[in-house]
Amino acid sequence: MLLAYGAAGLYRVGISPVDELRRLGITTTALYLSLGAIIFLLREGITYSRGVFVMAWGLSIVFVWLGRVVLRQLCARQPWWGYPVLVLGAGKTGEMVVRALQRQPALGLKPIAILDDDPTKQLDIEGVPVMGKLSLAPYMARELGVSHAIVAMPGVPREQLLTILERYAHTFPHLLMVPDLFGFASLWVSTKDLGGMLGLEIRQRLLLPGPRLTKAILDRALTLLVGLLTLPIMGLIALLVGLDSPGPIFYGQQRLGQNARPFTAWKFRSMVIDGDQVLADFLLKIPTIARNGNGIISSSRIHGLPELVIS
């Protein structure tokens, strides 16, 4: 398993949780399929429990993943965890990179210094010092043993950016570049080689039949499981509503769902029986109502009115 997980890249830094779980599931499943084939081919009259085999496969995925999560939480803030990183660029993008890495120490990338050719840049960003010009990068990589660098200068001209990438690609074994795509989701984006050109593929997973079927099954299974577990709580709430106020326990309201199809959303009633009509009559009788600074009228403060908030 150690060799297989290493080959799958599970011991690298900077892996997203979704990608980690995907790699872990695929690799573990492949290992157990290989083990099952070996057992089938080499068995000599020994009976193996298929139930135990399947259970071990499921538990391996779950507990290996949980073990990795717990270990990262325990060790992520230790000084020996992860790799030091140089950030090339002290502008807004460099500041965002430093903050993102400091918020997520489990990624294993720890910014130790920032380099920028602009002498007017601030002295430090979030406690990470701005050491000087970009020309210091090879020296710091050699003397400090830094193998990771992040180029965070999407605003520079294309020719200058290409020069920086070519110059420092031979200095750092791991050189990352942050593109000028702020606000763009990166979870389902992968790189593609288009005849020597770099392309970004955006995968809309829920447009594919397989992921849509998987999501539908998970939605229904989790709804059933959570619904059964919360039945005693819902029964208690229904009893309290019935004892507190006469009338129906549930309140239904029309909402728009998928493809603009209306459906009835149900909730436990927390208002008077004819709350909608009481509120409408009140608004007709009193045309001027005091508003707060946000322009919101709250009728829940008036005794006997439904607990509704109208904007």
* Model-wide pTM > 0.75: no
**pLDDT > 90: what percent of the chain?**
21
**What's the whole-number average pLDDT of the chain?**
81
Burial class (CB in 10 A: 0-12, 13-18, 19+), 136: middle
170 and 194, same domain (yes or no): yes
Q: 137 pLDDT exceeds 80?
A: yes
| CB contact at 8 A, 306 and 271 | yes
| Same-domain status, 92 and 123 | yes
Beta-carbon contacts of residue 45 (< 8 Å; ≥ 6 apart): none
If one counts every other C-beta atom within 10 angstroms of the C-beta of residue 82, the result is 21
Is pLDDT above 80 for 102?
yes
Number of structural domains the chain divides into: 2
Indicate whether 215 belongs to any domain.
no
Rounded-to-5 percentages of helix, strand, coil across the chain: 45, 20, 35
Confidence of residue 25 (pLDDT cuts 50, 70, 90): very high
Which comes out higher in pLDDT, residue 200 or 297? 200
308, pLDDT greater than 50: no
In the numeric block, which tokens belong to residue 25?
Answer: 């599931």
Domain boundary among 14, 42, 75: 75
The rounded distance, in Å, linking the Cα atoms of 96 and 104 is 12
- Residue 155: pLDDT band by 50, 70, 90 thresholds? confident
> Domain of 143: which CATH number?
3.40.50.720
Higher pLDDT, 108 or 297: 108
Q: Do 65 and 110 lie in a common domain? A: no
| Of 203, 221, 255, the domain-final residue | 203
pLDDT for the residue 55: 92
Residues 116 and 23 in one domain: no
The whole-number average pLDDT for the span 21-36 is 92
| Per-residue model confidence (pLDDT) at position 301 | 43
Examine residue 180 and state whether it is found in any structural domain, yes or no. yes
Beta bridge partners, 130, equal: 114
Q: What angle do CA 89, 111, 197 make, to 5 degrees?
A: 55
pLDDT of the residue at 300 = 42
Is the pLDDT higher at 202 or at 286? 286
Of the three residues 58, 75, 92, the one that is the final residue of a domain is 75
Residue 199 belongs to some domain of the structure: yes
Asked whether residue 298 carries a pLDDT value surpassing 50, the answer given is no
Whether 169 has a pLDDT exceeding 50, the answer reads yes
Residues 88 and 144 in one domain: yes
Domain range spanning residue 197?
A: 83-203
In this predicted structure, the answer to whether residue 101 has a pLDDT above a threshold of 50 is yes
Please compute the mean of the pLDDT values over residues 125-141 and round it to a whole number: 88
Confidence at residue 91, expressed as pLDDT on a 0 to 100 scale: 84
pLDDT higher at 188 or 247: 247
Question: Rounded to an integer, what distance in angstroms lies between the CA atom of residue 61 and that of residue 23?
Answer: 10
pLDDT at 12: 84
Give the tens place of pLDDT for each residue, 213-270. 888 898 999 999 999 999 999 999 999 998 888 888 898 888 888 778 899 999 998 8
Question: 53 and 97 share a domain?
Answer: no
Comparing C-alpha atoms, which of 101, 104, 125, 102 is closest to residue 113?
Answer: 125
* Together in a domain, 150 and 111: yes
pLDDT at 100 over 60: yes
